[in-house]
Each structure stands twice: as C-alpha cells, then as structure tokens.
Chain A
C-alpha cells in the first residue's frame, strides 16, 4: 500500500466511548503511558478498561533521558509516573510482546499466547534502531542505543571488555546525531575512548547547518571525543577472541573498535499494523489523519509508529500531542493533531547545541544573520524572512541561552533587529521587552501555550515556577523552556501589579534575601540593631524572623571572619531551642546527641566512648538518615556532661540541630571498593571539614559517590559529587524529603580544587539569595534563567564574583570553632543547662519510658503504668537485670 496524507475516515468529533469499552494499547513506551495517564486524568470515573501491553520488562520509562541511566544506574529512576497503574481500570502488561492483531475478531495475540479482546485499539509501538548493512555488524560488542536493556548491556560489556583486554576500551559510535553524541559521551563516562563516525559532512546533520555543525565538532573534540565526518563504516572485523575488534571505514582506514554503538536512525515499528492490513506510508508508519485514526475506524496510531502527512516524527512532543488527541476524541472531543515547530536540543553530552525551524534557509529569499566566535566556541544564527521581520529558524551552538526564548516565536515577527539579538555583548537584551503571543507554544514537549501559562498566573494564582509546572505541566519534560517560563511569569506579575509578598513576617517587610543584603551592607550585629535599621517598627520579632536573623548574622559573621558563634551568648536568645541548646528536641522534651562523623568514618576507639556514654545514660541509639550515630532521650542538664566526654574523645558537634551543613555522605571509594574510580571518602571528609557549621537558609546535605554506581545517592542531595575516570561531576539542587528532586548536573570532569571552588560559590550564592527555609532544590528550580544561568554565574563567573565568594568561604573555614567544645568549657553557659532554675537537682518527673526491641522509647498514654520507668537508665537496668535473671534460671 502506498498512501500518504490525511485519513478520509477522520470524523468531525470523536465518538464517545460506550459504557464498558475495552481499550487496548500496544506499546508500553512514553506515548502509551501518556495516553493512559491522559485517559485517567480526563475521565477519572468513566466506565471503560484500558490495557497497555509492553514488550520491555520495565514499567514505561523516560526514554528521552535514557543517558541519565549512566548517572544513577537504576532503571526505576527513569520510570514515568507510576500512579497511573494504581487505577483499577488500567492494566499494565510488561515483558510480553504483542504479535498480531485480528481486526475481524477484535483481538490482539501476544508472544505468551495471551489474547486480549478490544473494542478500540491504539498502536503505540514506537520505532526500532536501524543500522546500515555492514559485514560483522552483529559481532559480540555491537549495540543499539534505544532501551534500558541496551544501556545496561553496553555498560556491562565495556566493564567486561576492559578487564579482558587489560587496557582502555576503544569505542566507535556510528552516527553523529543527537543520540550518537549522547552514546559517545556515555562511552566516555564508562571510561572508554570514543570516536564518532558520521556519514554526512557534519554532526547533527539533520538539525544543524554547516556552521553550527562545525562549531559542534570543535566542542565535541574539546571533550576528548574524536569525530570523523564524511565516512561510513563498511565492515567490522573480530578480535582474536571473536568479539568485535576493528571497524573498516569507507575511505579505507581502520579504527580500533572494542565496542560499537549504532545510532544511525530509527524506523517506525509498523509490522503489526502492516500485517493486519492497515494503510502504511511510503516511508513506513501506520497512516493516520489529524484524528490519529488509521484506515480501520476501530484502530488509532500514535507516536513514532504513526505516519502523519507522510512523516513519522522521532520526537516526544508530537507523540504526546497525538496521545492527547486520541484521549480527547475517545471522550467525545474534537481535538486534532497539528505538527508544531519542535526544535532539537542536545542534552546529556556537556555541550550545548540547539536549533529550530528553517535552519538551512530553504525558504525563498530567506536571510541569514550569524555570529561566529571560534575562540569562545560560539555560533548563533537566525533565519529571517526576506524583509528581516519574521523569524523562520535559528541555530545555537556553544551558548543556547536564546533558544528557549526564540523557538516559540517561529513564524512570527521577531520585533527586534536580528543582528542585535545575537550580538555577543548582552546577547538577548534586544528582546528584553518582547512579549510572546498567547498562542505561541512555550513548552513543546507538553504543548503548553504562552496563553495557558498567562491564564495560570492571572486566574489560577500560580505565582511560582513550581506552581506553574504543577498546574500546566509546562517545563516538566525536558525543562528547556523554564527560562522562558520564568520570564513570562515575571512579566505577568509585573503587568498585573501582583506583588508576591516575600516579607518575612509582621516585623520585616523584606524577604530573607533582601534582609541578608541589607545586613551585609549595614553591618548590624545584633537583633536590636537589625530590627531598628530594617524592621517595620516597634517589636521584638517572632518565631519566624528571630531565627532567620540569627541565621543571617551567623552566616555573615562566619563568612566575614569576624565572629563564629552562631549559638553563643550573642545570638542564643534568637534561636529555637534546637540551636540554643545545640541538640534536637524530641517529642517528650528530651534531646538527641549526634556528633559529626565526617564521611561516615569513625574509629573503634571513639565508638567505644560513644557506646559507653549511651550505656551510662541508658539512651536509645540509632543510625540516623544522615549516616551518623545518634543517642536519644538526654535531658537538658545531661547534655553538657555527655558532650564533655564526647569532646574529650575527639568528637565534634554534628550540627544535626542547625540550619547548616548536616553531613557529607559517601560510599567507600577507591581505598576499599573494587569498583571505585575516585576517593569519595577522602573528598567527603575534606568537604565536611570545609563547610561544617556553616549557617544557611535551610539544612544542607552533601553526597559524594566514588563511581557512577552512585551508592551515596549524591543526586538526591543539595550538592552531589560523583567520580568519573575524568574527574568529579558536580550536581546541585537534589532533595529527598516530601518533595523529592533530582539534582541537576552543573559541571563535569573537575579536579579536586575546582570542585571545591565551584561548591564554595554555589553554597554562598544559595545563602545570599534563597528565601527563608528554602532548600536548594526549590531555589535552583526558581533561579531566574534556571540551571544554565546558575552555571554561567558559578562556572563561567559571569558576574566576576567567584574569587570573592571563595575567599569568604575560606574565612568561614579558618575561623570555625566547635560549638560544643566552646560550650562545655564555658561555666556560665553550662549553668544554664538545668531542668529547673529553682531546683537544679531535680528533673521533670512526668517523663516515662518503656522498653521496645531492647531499647527505650518515651511512654505513650496507652502503655500500662507498670511497664514504664522514670528514666531511660532505669528501664535499661531493669531489662539487664531481667536478662541476668533469665540466664540464671537457664542454668
């Protein structure tokens, strides 16, 4: 069959599902997931069932971010929202491939023999990785780059091969497109040397023009990846042991090839539809019209397997749109599929390149305006209509700050002089006042228009990027539009005069960041001075502003090197009880004792002291969530006695009570771990000693992993460091907690010193600019210009403040003192640690403890009084006496 174009069967509106309709989706990829999720959210109570048949064993996952797997090596971290599968109407089948469709019987038969009956069938089978014909291309060691299985076996092969050969593994990537470059970067991350072979005369030949391709070649070569363009691979020869060993190229040359990755394009997986007799496009793919219905009125096709206007799209945005169209029509809607201007952005490679629209100026009389700077590795080009007013396309390599702003403007008036827009000085300033039209698609992944975002800001009360993401889904897939979203948000807020109050409380009209700056400039050193200079009037503050001011004064005191006493006499009265008594209050009013254990290291000698102290007071002992040991249940008056013994044994405060660095967690690293490639323990210990005690807007957690296996879970930390063969990769803005966030890659391949300098800069920026009690994850998320701008400020030092920030951090480190050592040696402060000021020898007699799993816990009202004890020690002694009694009986 040879049909292209729209299906004549496309109805004006979808026919709503009759009750009890059985929907079957073939394909458990991103589009199939999107369709299921859409059906669920658009029709939460409808009477239908939906079965998604997935061939892969994994739950549907984020294939767009497949290369992220190398960062964490956990397939489940790529999983798409699994909440969909909790809907009892929706069933997910994994690990069973659909083999055939019987259109007359309305059944799908799977490889396992299972037969699924359908009333409506949706094909979402995606594509397969095509590889050119070449002798030896199926030798062991040859891979595609499309599924989690692919990347898992690729990683295993490189590791095995390295061990078998006893030398660096040499890899060849066939294909220099977006995926090929991702694969080459992945090979490099795995410790292999890689060469990209591209048949066309430039990299990303489909998306970029000649100039952009050339700049990209320079940037890729800068990363140590070799590039060969204008040649193809003709044959592969085995090594002595039969695995792949050598690649022969069309120009007669040879390349060593211990591993080969093919990334030479995709083809629609249309076999099932083809064999079932559906209309198939000239270049493959199931033919659909704008309703996404196929030539069979009971079958729809979405995503990469569907041919629309003769083209099978290879990007997620049109796939998502098609899924949305079919869901809408199943529920009686009239939505139609449109192909927008999607653009392409290179990601996961550490090199910036992006392009959209008519990159090669094929439109008659189109004008090209370009800026080329090979020294700084930058290339920018705009393609304009013949009168230089309408934007037709753009290419950005090396610096893609303009991409997300300009892409939605394709086909519209640019509203500025194109050469000014791409000029190196203040690039983009020419567009500062420009407004995006309502119908311009700002997030192409989820097809969200500027108008929808405006509506969310003005009508739905979304005044933060986080709220906009939640409400509109814009910016939640690839994230490249976040800078534009931020700009749009700020424009709308300014326009409608909505002021988002960041005022701390009734005592201060300023946000925390503003107050920090004012105090830094004003030099106030006490709460009285701060409230007099910057407060709203009379008053002595509250539980919000007092700790905030204490934190600001502490941070500034340490960073200026003037005073390092966040909890001492001066600021003590401003602090919550936790900071005031340097311990965390527990539910019964007693406290925890958690010494620092940098990198989780502790000597047996120190551990013995810790154990003896805990035993002497009968305290509950537990390893907490921050890789440290804590004891719990200490009364106020016991804290200095306990700490005096710990300090003497060499322990320091772990600041578990402070809005400050909590810990630097690490795996074992190269000293002990057979997989380690970096000494994560030494680095973690060093970082913890550098940043310990630093007061910040909220707590800070750091993780250091010694290899890409990421055992320290660094990407869930505020600052995450992961060792590779080429140095340290630095991630920022991760978070566990109630709103988990993945840390984002800030910069790669750092040496020890540069890593520390980058973290210095990041932490001080955070301390300066974050809102009260704002973790780094939200701060990074809301940072104007996003992670790209943060990278410019921190890595490229675009504001020229890098050295100043490092010097400030050095002052903090140089003047650090252990708070508990200071307190236990200060008799006047020690005297304050009493339960009752008029009865220093007594304590709270209402406290009661019971035993559970051989340790104490505070008693609850329902515990029988005879099972409770007045102190942890009494409970423990009773337990030990009981044990002795029993063992005597045994004898």
Chain B
C-alpha cells in the first residue's frame, strides 16, 4: 500500500486514545509513529523510534509541558513535551526539537501533522519537512 507523502492516513477514533498518554501506530509504508492525546484535547504525532536508545518506544514516554523562553521574547511559551521512557531525554512535541538531551548529542525527532476529522484521528503519511534528524 502506498500513499502520497502529504496524504492523511486514518489511525483510530479519538476516543480510543488515553488522555495524556501515547499509542503506537503503523503508517502504510511500515513507519512506526507515536500518537498522543493531550490535556487540551489536541493530538500530536511523532516518530516512534527513540534516536537515543534506538528502540521503537516513544509512544510509551511521559507527556508534559515546558515553559520555553526564547531569546528576544519577553514571555515564555508553554510547549507540550515528551520524555523518553528509556533514558529520559525530552523533546518539544510541536517541533521535535530536543529540550533536554541529558548532556549528550541533540537528536531531534520527526513530527507528523495530525487532523481530527469527525472524531477520527488522521496523521500525515510523511513527516513534516524539516523535522527529525534521521534519513
């Protein structure tokens, strides 16, 4: 099964997701993704592969928030976060950027666009361009 890179793939009913918890899902090309239902009702999707432990486990990480202060901005921005269940590195769920690399190399993760249509979660078949660090 193939799909255009920007096609949206239906994943599951919104109600099947547990609030503030992740679920793993398969894209048509076999790519594993991690889908999260956040406290505000929005859904995020990122790669399932943990670039640090090299295991497919990110859906089992903890979500949270971080007050991100960027140079030049007066007010911080509250971003949704994900931390790896293996070695606790954390990422910005909006951009895939590393927030805490635990002192090691910064390995960002790929972010997939999500749309909730009629109570059903759809995820883009390909990562958002410019996110993730892996080929």
A residues neighboring B (CB under 8 Å): 506-507, 537-543, 545-547, 572-574, 576-578, 580-581, 585, 587-589, 832, 835-839, 842, 844-846
Structural contact, B85 and A576, CB atoms closer than 8 A: yes
B11 within 8 A of A: yes
User: Which of B24, B60, B65 makes the CB contact (< 8 A) with A539?
Assistant: B65
Known contacts A539-B78, A589-B56, A836-B26, A573 near B64 by CB under 8 Å: no
Query: Does B62 contact A542, Cβ atoms closer than 8 Å?
Result: yes
Residues of A within 8 A of B16 (CB): 837
Chain B residues near A546 (CB, 8 Å)?
A: 62, 64
Contact of B25 with A by CB under 8 A: yes
Count, chain B residues at interface, CB 8 A: 38
Complex CA gap A412/B90 in Å reads: 56
Chain B residues within 8 Å of A845, by CB: 30
B12 lies within 8 A of chain A by Cβ: yes
Q: Is the CB of A837 within 8 A of B62?
A: no
Complex Cα distance A542/B67, Å?
11
| CB <8 Å contact, A577 and B85 | yes
CB proximity of A762 to chain B, nearest CB, Å: 30
User: Known contacts being A540-B64, A542-B81, A543-B90, is A587 close to B19, with CB within 8 Å?
Assistant: no
CB distance from A659 to the nearest CB of B (A): 14
Task: Name the A residues within 8 Å of B90 (CB-CB).
Answer: 542-543
Contact at B60–A580, with CB atoms within 8 Å?
A: yes
**What is the interface of chain B mostly: helix, strand, loop, or mixed?**
strand
Contact A543 B56 (CB under 8 A): no
* 24 A-B pairs with C-beta separation under 8 A: A507-B64, A539-B78, A540-B39, A540-B63, A540-B65, A540-B80, A543-B90, A546-B62, A547-B62, A572-B21, A574-B62, A576-B85, A577-B57, A577-B85, A580-B21, A580-B60, A585-B57, A587-B55, A589-B57, A836-B26, A837-B35, A838-B12, A838-B26, A839-B25
A547: nearest chain-B partner, CB-CB? B62
Interface contact tally, CB-CB below 8 A = 93
Q: Does B20 contact A (CB under 8 A)?
A: yes
Contact of B56 among A545, A577, A846 (CB under 8 A): A846
| Residues in chain B near residue A835, CB distance under 8 A | 24
| In the bound complex, CA of A572 to CA of B78 (Å) | 23
Query: Is B32 an interface residue when CB atoms closer than 8 A count as contact?
Result: yes
CB nearest neighbor in B for A585: B85
For B18, what are the chain A residues with a Cβ–Cβ distance below 8 Å?
572-573, 832
Q: Are A577 and B64 CB-contacts (below 8 A) given A540-B39, A838-B25?
A: no
- A contact residues around B53 at 8 Å (CB): 587
Is there an interface contact between B65 and A541, defined as CB atoms closer than 8 Å? Answer: yes
Residues of chain A contacted by B88 (CB below 8 angstroms): 543
Nearest opposing residue in chain A for B11, CB measure: A838
**B23 CB within 8 Å of chain A:** yes
Instruction: Tell me the bound Cα distance from A540 to B62 in angstroms.
Output: 11
Q: Are B65 and A542 touching (Cβ within 8 A)?
A: yes
Q: Can you list, as one digit per residue, whether each of B11-55 has a CB less than 8 Å from chain A (1) or not (0)?
A: 110001111110111100010100100110000000000000101
Whether A844 lies near B32 (C-beta < 8 A) is yes
**B124 contacts A by Cβ under 8 Å:** no
| A residues less than 8 Å from B3 (CB atoms) | none
Q: What 4 A-B pairs have minimum CB-CB distances, sorted nearest first?
A: A543-B83, A542-B64, A577-B60, A837-B23
Q: In this complex, what residue of B is CB-closest to A837?
A: B23
**Cβ 8 A contact of A837, one of B25, B60, B78:** B25
B26: chain A residues at CB < 8 Å are: 836, 838-839, 842
Q: In whole angstroms, what is the CA distance A842 to B24 when docked?
A: 11
Q: If the complex has contacts A572-B18, A842-B26, are A538 and B78 also in contact, measured as CB distance less than 8 A?
A: yes
Q: Is the CB of A836 within 8 A of B60?
A: no
Complex Cα spacing A542 to B61, Å: 10
A837 close to B24 (CB less than 8 A):
yes
B65 touches A576 (CB 8 A): no
Question: What CA separation (Å) do A578 and B19 show in the bound complex?
Answer: 18
Contacts A538-B78, A587-B53, A587-B55 given; does A837 touch B64 at CB 8 Å? no
Residues in B with CB closer than 8 Å to A538 are 65, 78
